[in-house]
Amino acid sequence: MAGGFLGVTIYDIAEKAGVSIATVSRVFNKHARVSEKTRGRVMAVARELGYQPHVSAQSLARQKTHLIAAVIPVLSNFFYMEIIRGMQDAVADSAFDLILYAAPSPQEVDSQLERAIQKGRADGLLLLSTPLSDVYRERLNNARLAVILVDAADPDFDSVAVDNVKGGYMATRHLIDLGYARIAHLTVDPEPPPAAQRREGYERALREAGRAVDPALIAASDRKPYGFVEEAGYEGMKTLLSREVSPDAVFAASDIQALGVLRALREAGLRVPEDLGVIGFDDIVVSRYIGLTTLRQPMYEMGKLAIEKLLARLEDPDRPVSHTVFSPRLVIRSTCRAEGAGANHTDSDNHTESTGHPSNT
């Protein structure tokens, strides 16, 4: 729904009224869960700014389902649970309801996506951690839905993601700076884009340090239905320990895999960090309690921003495509050696915003 007089939008109203754009949307859609005081303030600001929704947009709004569909590969995953929490909190302040389509495995995402984009089921779609095939890119472009990609990117659609290449680089660089000589990497097979990007960062850091990428120090689990699980880390670490080249540090592609790594090391009688350093990726809640050094990605914030982008896209379908890329942050705890200069490579939860093609940094 495009703004009226002098291009005034719900962003302008939200800013001046001191409320979220979701609240403004709820007011205009006559949602019951808005206090009269807030409703009055928003309407007063709208009148003051001369906001007039387009008649055509109002007509379209009357046909809305007020449902947002989210397609998620494997619901029982800490990363997705945190993203969903951010989505739920953002949706709670809007006129929309959130419906989840969870695939039993990444290989079955297509069938859930097919259900979600069926005509009339939802006004908007959130698609998590799923690269778009040419077929589905065309389907989504023709579906006339507002689409937001989360933990993925595509030139045609708004997206929210973390810089996985940078995160993999930072994790490996930290281990290099701490003096580790044989740094292994645990990934999954087949590699989804986030895992492949983290591996790219791992390899880049090794090469920049003048080190070769040794295939004997890379292990991947093909555990079904999903590689980002504790058992995958456990099996991968046992594989590494069975090889002739024994690592003295491991970068796991996710914190949940790192939990499996720690179990395998404990069973092998190896001490962390005295015998072997461990670093993960995500910073899930349990990581702080076990002292896991890791790369933090703002999962809750990613989910919240994805909903805000979707509401903005529903409000203004012709707005430029935007891509938000969050920068991961190195969180130093006790599973790596204390000495070294690794702290120089910490980063903040800042993010970059761009329009047009997704960032490849």
d(CA 157, CA 255): 29
Say whether 164-297+330-348 and 5-60 share the same fold.
Answer: no
* pTM for this model (two decimals): 0.77
Average pLDDT of the chain?
85
pLDDT score for 125: 93
Superfamily of domain 5-60: lambda repressor-like DNA-binding domains (1.10.260.40)
Following DSSP, what letter does each residue of 144-192 receive, concatenated?
T-EEEEES--BTTBEEEEE-HHHHHHHHHHHHHHTT-SSEEEEEESSPP
Query: Which carries the bigger pLDDT value, residue 203 or residue 189?
Result: 203
CATH code linked to domain 164-297+330-348 = 3.40.50.2300
When computed from its CA atoms, the radius of gyration of the chain, rounded to whole angstroms, is 23
The top-level CATH class assigned to 64-162+299-327 is: alpha beta
| Domains in the chain: boundaries | 5-60, 64-162+299-327, 164-297+330-348
Residue 49 pLDDT: 83
Average pLDDT over every residue of 101-121: 75
Summarize pLDDT for 68-101 with one digit per residue, the tens: 999 988 766 788 899 999 999 999 878 888 999 8
Residues 125-145, mean pLDDT to the nearest whole number:
85
